[in-house]
Amino acid sequence: MTDPNYKCAFAATLIGHDHGCEHAAAVVRRSGPDIACRDGQAHHLCGLIYDTLKTAALPAFGVEDDLLSMPHSVMAKVQFGGLLGLQQVLDGSATSTGRVENIAQLISHVSARYPDPQLLPLHEIVPTITAVKLRRRR
């Protein structure tokens, strides 16, 4: 059973089906559609990685970690660009397919290679985050 309190750290990438994850479960919250994680350990690992990516990327956008003042687009760019940057680091390539098929698997591989998220090559990942172009809503 899915614990709706396990809010996915990379939900923005999953809501539009841009990326995939074996542990993702669609839920509806007061604010609208959302994604919950069905695995507590994966939820924890994704949260650690996401927090590290966000802390590294926010200065590049010139914003602080404040829910009231930070644009939603910045959070989405951290999620999309962070995953693509992690995939590029693991693949050893300068480009990626533009889609992460299984976020949980990617995060698991990243955690195996970098047991401490602070050891991530953030200098390689942050440019990918800042370069993300989000699709416009219709």
Question: Length of the chain in residues, anyone?
Answer: 138
Q: What is the dihedral of CA 79, 85, 43, 23, to 10 degrees?
A: 90
- Residue-wise pLDDT for 56-109, tens only, equals 999 999 998 887 888 989 999 999 999 999 999 998 876 666 889 999 999 999
pLDDT at 31: 82
DSSP string, 95-134: ---S--S-HHHHHHHHHHH-SSGGGS-HHHHHHHHHH--P
> Where does the pLDDT of residue 138 fall: very low under 50, low under 70, confident under 90, or very high at 90 and above?
low
Q: Which residue has the tokens 């927090």?
A: 51
| pLDDT given at position 30 | 86
pLDDT at 1 over 60: no
Scanning 62-119, the segments in alpha helix (DSSP H) are 72-91, 103-113
The predicted model gives 12-23 an average pLDDT of: 94
